[in-house]
Each structure stands twice: as C-alpha cells, then as structure tokens.
Structure 1
Amino acid sequence: MAAQHDWLTEHGDFLYRFALARLRDPHLAEDAVQDTLLAAMQNQGFAGKSAPRTWLTGILKHKIIDIIRKQSREQVVEDLGEDLPDEAGMDDFFADDQRHWADKPQAWGAPQDELEQKQFLQVLQECMNRLPTKLAQLFMLREVHETDNEEICKELDISTTNAWVMLYRARMNLRKCLELNWLGS
C-alpha cells in the first residue's frame, strides 16, 4: 500500500480527469483535487478497507458536489430560452400529437464497451460542454452522481417540474449531439 505522500503521484492524474469530466473547468478540477488530497492527508480516517483510489474518489465526489452547490448559489440565473432550441425544434423528435417517435433512437450496440473507449468519452465531454451550464450541472448531479431529485431541486433552487423539464432537455440535446458526433447519423 502506498504512503500518503505517493497519492498525488499514483492517483493525481486519475483524480484530475475525474474532476475535469464533471466540472468542465481545468482550474476548478485542479482545486477539487488539491482539496481532496489535503482533506485526505488531514483526515487520518483511511483504514485500508478499500483501495486508496476508491477512498480518494469518494472524497473527490463530495468536493465536486460542494463546488457545484457553490456555483449554483453564486451564478446569475440564465435565461434557458436563449441557449435551447425553440419548442418547435423539440417537435422534430416526434411524428404526431401522441408524441410517438418520428424515428426511434439508434441502437447503440453494447454501451458498456463504447463507454470504455476514449474517443466516446471525448465526444461526450464535448457534447456536455455545449449544454448550458445549469443543464449540464443538473445532468451530472442526476445521472452521474445519482443524486435524488429532491436534493437537486434544493441545491439548484428549482421546482421539481422544472428539474424534469431541464433533465429532459439535457438528455435530448445530448442524444442529438451524440448521434451527430459519435454515431454519425
């Protein structure tokens, strides 16, 4: 087992990539990793019940959530209407008033295999970067960190209905972006 002073060397790159994929800002990712390592070294709670990387990633997840919470409190609320396609653009996905798909989403094959591919992760990150900040934060909290809706609504100061609408829009925008840039349709 590596000593605490080796954690940066052995796990720093992984932790930085993990934070960057979620925060989308190199400076915030560096700060999160630094705060994680500092907290880990100050806390003598590592008992060796898990791998150091697993323990450090757990701390990092909490630091990332703290940063997202801080950003949501400090940011000026964006006008989502400016960043999203008009409502008519959403109708392109559906064939009729009963909201049946105009064309079904493409089969993605074995998603677990594609997720492991570095190119897919790069395209996904680019698609996430194109989302408005608040939509990206909501998507990350819900789908990546698996935070429940009640907590998300409290942290982002939005209603439950608004959260579902925003999550739907984030998913549809990511779907369209991935189909164009990854699946090549």
Structure 2
Amino acid sequence: MTADELSLQLADLRPRLVRFARLQLRDDAAAEDAVQDALLAAAENAERFEGASAAATWVFAILRNKLVDEFRRRGRDPVALAGNEGEAALESLFEEQFDARGHWRDPPPAWSDPAASLEQKRFWEVFEICISSLPERPARVFGMRELLGMESEEICKELGISSSNCWVLLHRARLGLRDCLSRRWFGEH
C-alpha cells in the first residue's frame, strides 16, 4: 500500500475513530487529541504496516493503546460521580427485568441472526447510540473491558473500584445495551 493510499484511508477512517474515542473518553477535546496522536503514529509508522490486517484494524489498535494511555494518565479520576441519576434509572430497569427470586420476568427473546446484524453498518450506528445513552460509569467500564480489551483487574486499578463493583457495572451496561438494542435494532418492545 502506498503512502497516498494509506493517507486516504486514514482520512476516511477519522470520523469513526473520533466517535469511538468520544464513547470511551466522554470528552471531545481528549478524544480529538487521542485520534490525532493515533493518526500521527500511523503516518509515522506507515512503512511498518505490512497489510496483514486491514488498515482500519491497525489504526484502531493504535487508538486503543492511546486510549489506554489516556486512562492511565488520568489515574483514578476518570469516573465522575455525577452520573448517579442515570445509574438509578438503569438500576430500576434491572429491577423490572427480574422477579423477587431473581428469575427473568420475560426471558430474553431469541434474536434473529446476531452474526448478520453485526455486519451491518446501521447496527453499529444504533450500538453507538445505545452505549452513549448508558450512564457514564457502566459505559466506561463496558468500553474498557469489551471495546478496549482491558482485563478486569486493570480496570479496577485504573478506576479505583472493587472487582465486585466492576462486575455490577458490566452487568448493568450489558442489561442497558440489551434493552436498548432490543428496542432500537431488533424491534422487540
């Protein structure tokens, strides 16, 4: 791949990178900085790109590392406590899903074809809306674990939370995403 071809791909990829960084950092300026750093690193290391993976995969891996660095730089401060109202709403949603014995009130319906849905661009747009609508703490923990691939222990250390709190936040995020995707993507409510 030539440098010009890579430059064109990076320019086309930039909006997706910015959206992803904003989802993780919840700060437009920090997201822009992380994306600029990732694009600069990609441009500076273009000769190392062997084409074994898609350019998008390569650049997202660079961005992922930049985001992890940003979380480390922020230390124990990245989680704002102002999201408690959203967490209360998500807790209410959680309570509505289960009966007193902890069993599903309405078991999750079988989703038609999740593999095919994942391939659709529109799905990712809806997913972005859904994850953006989650309260900050569960969304951040979910993003760090599932989108950035960080280990739970590392997340706990970075955010200064216990492993049980991490598990609860992941569970809440997954419930919120399931509910949102059920309504907005699979049309089930």
Query: For this structure pair, what is the TM-score category when the shorter chain's length is used for normalisation?
Result: 0.7 to 0.9
Tell me how large the CA RMSD over aligned residues is.
2.7
8 A contact 2:97–2:106 mirrored in 1: yes
SS in 2 for 1:92: helix
User: Residue in 2 aligned with 1:2?
Assistant: 2
In structure 2, relative to structure 1, the CA distance for the partners of 1:124 and 1:52 (3 Å cut) is closer
Structure 1 match to 2:96? 92
CA distance in 1, matches of 2:170, 2:118: 21
Cα distance in 1 for partners of 2:40, 2:91 equals: 47
Higher helix share: 2
**How many Å apart are 1:179 and its aligned residue?**
1.6
Length-normalised TM-score, structure 2: 0.80
TM-score (norm 1): 0.82
* RCO higher in structure (CA 8 A, sep ≥6): 2
For 1:36, the equivalent position in structure 2 comes to 38
State the Cα distance separating 1:128 from its structure 2 match. 1.0
- CA change 1:9–1:29 in 2 (3 A) is farther
How far apart are the structure 1 equivalents of 2:54 and 2:90?
Answer: 47
**Contact residue 22 and residue 140 of structure 1 kept, 8 A:** no
**Same amino acid, percent of matched pairs:** 39
1:131-161 deviation line (CA, Å, top 9, x unaligned)? 1222211101111222211011111111101
2:15 aligned residue: 16
Contact residue 93 and residue 101 of structure 1 kept, 8 A: yes
Moved more, 167-176 or 52-61: 52-61
2:147 pairs with 1:144: yes
CA drift at 1:17? 0.3
Gaps of 5+ in 2: none
The answer to whether 1:168 aligns with 2:174 is no
Judging changes above 3 Å, is the alpha-carbon distance between structure 1 residues 13 and 71 closer, same or farther for their aligned structure 2 residues? Answer: farther
Question: What is the total number of aligned residue pairs between the two structures?
Answer: 183
Secondary structure of the equivalent of 2:97? coil
The answer for the alignment partner of 2:180 in structure 1 is 177
Q: Deviations over 1:151-175 (max 9, x none)?
A: 1111111110110111111111111
Letter aligned with residue 7 of structure 1: L
* Residues in 2 aligned to 1:151 and 1:35: alpha-carbon distance in whole angstroms: 23
Q: Could you list the runs of 5+ residues in structure 1 that have no partner in the other structure?
A: none
